[in-house]
Amino acid sequence: MRIFASLLFCFPLLPIVSVHASDPVLFALGPRAEDYSLPSAIDSWLHSEQKLSQPLLLLKETKVYLEVTGPVLYADVEQLFFNDTGETVEVQYTFPISDKATVTGMTMILGDHIVTSVVQEKKSAKATYDAAAAQGKQAALLEQDRPNVFTAKINKLNPGEEVKVTFQYVEPLSYASGRYQVVFPTTFGSRYLPVRDMPDSEAGNALVEQSRLIPLYVDQTENQFSLEALVLGLPLEEIQSNTHNLYLKDEGEMATRVVVDLADFLPNRDVILNLQLADSAEPQSRMLQSYSQDGVHGLLNIFPPLGNVTEVQSQPKEVVFIIDTSGSMTGVAMEQARDGLKACLAMLNPDDRFNIVAYDDSFQMFAPEFAENSPENHLKGLKFANYLHADGGTELQPALKAVLEMERSHDHLPWIVLLTDGDVGNETELLALVHQSEARNRIFSFGLGSAPNRYLLTKLGEVGGGFATFIDPGLDLTQTMKEFFESVLVPVLTDISIEFRQPDGHLAQVEYFPGTPPDVYLDRPLQLSVHSELPLDGKVWVKGVWQGEEIQFEVPIPQAEMARYEGIDKLFGKAWLDDLMVNYFTAPIQAVKERVEADIVATALHYQLVTPFTSRVAVTKLQTTQPGHALASAMVPLLQPESRIQYPVTATQDWFWLTSGLSLMLLAGFWLKRSPMKSV
């Protein structure tokens, strides 16, 4: 029935698909009807389908310059657009960005004109952008769709004209097991946004929102993509990548230039650089301080002096493995999920208990209650893993809710292990669900595929008292799972509180975020963004609970690193906004949510940061085009993530296919009846 309904569904769409003959591309036809769940929302969905008839505007060139200074990454991205469509168009480009990135600037370059941007409240920025078009002035707009997905627009680009848009960002690097990791995403997977249980009034808006989160994919690109990085101030043992071939050049003491091999560079997967430090090179603490009119902002990394812990916790575990079997997992990601689950099952001890929950449109459980890790159940678990295959929608929320509500044994450590690519659009609802849960679970996420949703999986770990691990293509899964279990089975530093002390021992007035410090695992630092009126030159006192006992230690603030580092104040602003966003999506009533939103806008405008409620806009001073809006909007496509088989399906129920197909045929018939054929 699905095949028959799919044919009905596609026929009415064929006349509106437009591809220029000169474009060397093939469509992975999207937006996908299977991502939606309400027949009553078809009209809104049809409206979003107008993007299929829009001209394509391909990126000509992307240049990425990265600089690593200690634990901080600075990025400068240049993108060159050229209008070969033969008409004046508005350019719309939705692209991924690193999940911890803080955008610090955007510039539009038109010939000799260099136009810088400012951050305004979202509605004001859109009004500024539209007013520029009406006045014949070119403008660029940068909006946040998700913390790691942005959309850039250029209001008018004339035929044969090119424009360069640059943006800069800064981010704190993640550290684990003696290495920093740099990640630059080049594409992202379509985000599934569940609308099945929404009222019709909300579903229509949700579908319009989702149209931005479903990229237009092509099979080839003319985008000349280059990436190079300069690594400074780190005593390195090795720089390597599991995703790309690298060229390395020594540029002096603790300075290395890294260039990605262009012959190996296709922008269809994350670029990942692993910076392995020399043995014992990481100090007990590290702090970068930046001076501004607002005082001193800093980024502090603290490595608790817990010694070389080798004894693991003896308490047995009660583990629920949540496995994504939706259509977006088709290909390498599904293979990783199956193999990862098997590797995890092999690491369980005889006194552990487990269950498995597989989800797509719905979810199914391996057992009605936790199963003892007996040889018989272990074999059944392996067979269950072998039968998993990718198909259907990505309804993670019901599955996660059911797992959080499971009755737990007080004699076992309660773990949730999630294996997924994270390609969902309801991140806020999922994070709120975990944040508001009274269950004492720890959530550990494994990101699969070549372009996983790192933001969601990292935040689920943070909110759920765990952390995220990303399985780069080509990694040894068995070894990765072994390292994971080794890191989580040693004692964890919990219930952490922080005090900053002046050299004379008195308390220093310091703001820091996250306001509630997360638990600290083996070989991972406690990272805080801080702000003070005066430079910090004393000590940090850290209190916490380790192995059931309260401990306290003090860490001196390194004096040698008191210098000016650009963007550290922005990182503090971003960390503050992250805390405010948690308050926003967990607000109990609308009035509280509105007050928090006002705080978010005020903070974002102060630090000039893009959020769901603020945007960046740049406008030329001179009239460069004819007044009025462009008649057409040109989409800039992406390559599909490498780990997927072509045309993956994230489907919903068969009834929707049939209903959608019949509805569209009726609409097409009505249109033909209203528009009689003309004789020639």
Domain borders along the chain are: 2-274+617-639, 317-488
Token code pair at residue 560: 């040698």
The per-residue b/e assignment along 260-275, b for 16 or more CB within 10 angstroms, e otherwise, is beeeebbbbbbbbbeb
Give the per-residue pLDDT at 201.
59
Give the per-residue pLDDT at 651.
42
DSSP letter for 554, please: E
Give the per-residue pLDDT at 341.
94
The CATH fold of domain 317-488: Rossmann fold (3.40.50)
pTM: 0.85
Question: Quick one: which of 412, 441, 422, 417 has its CA closest to 321?
Answer: 417
SS3 127: helix
What letter represents residue 662's amino acid? L
CA distance 254 to 266: 30
DSSP letter for 56, please: B
Mean pLDDT, 10 residues at a time, over the chain (680 residues)? 39 32 30 36 42 75 94 95 91 94 94 92 97 92 95 92 94 90 94 72 64 83 92 92 93 92 85 88 74 87 71 79 94 92 93 96 94 96 95 93 93 94 92 89 93 95 92 81 83 89 90 92 89 88 89 80 74 95 91 96 97 96 79 88 60 40 46 40
Tell me the sheet residues that pair with 291: 296
Give the per-residue pLDDT at 481.
86
Find the angle CA(83)-CA(110)-CA(50) to the nearest 5 degrees.
Answer: 35
Token code pair at residue 397: 């929320």
Give the per-residue pLDDT at 498.
94
Question: Quick one: which of 298, 269, 283 has its CA closest to 175?
Answer: 283
The enclosing H or E element of 172 equals strand 162-172
Beta carbons of 309 and 491 less than 8 angstroms apart: yes
- Long-range (24+ apart) CB contacts under 8 A made by 473-478 are 473/242, 473/243, 473/269, 473/332, 473/449, 473/642, 473/643, 474/242, 474/243, 475/242, 477/336, 477/339, 477/340, 477/343, 478/343, 478/346
Give the per-residue pLDDT at 280.
61
Residue whose pair of structure tokens reads 């990548």 in the numeric block: 241
Q: For helices 375-387 and 332-347, what crossing angle results, to 10°?
A: 180
Other residues' Cβ atoms within 10 Å of the Cβ of residue 162: 16
* CB proximity list for 142: less than 8 A, separation 6 or greater: 103, 106, 117, 150, 151, 152, 153, 167, 610, 615, 616, 617
Question: Quick one: which of 14, 100, 231 has its CA closest to 577?
Answer: 100
Give the per-residue pLDDT at 19.
32
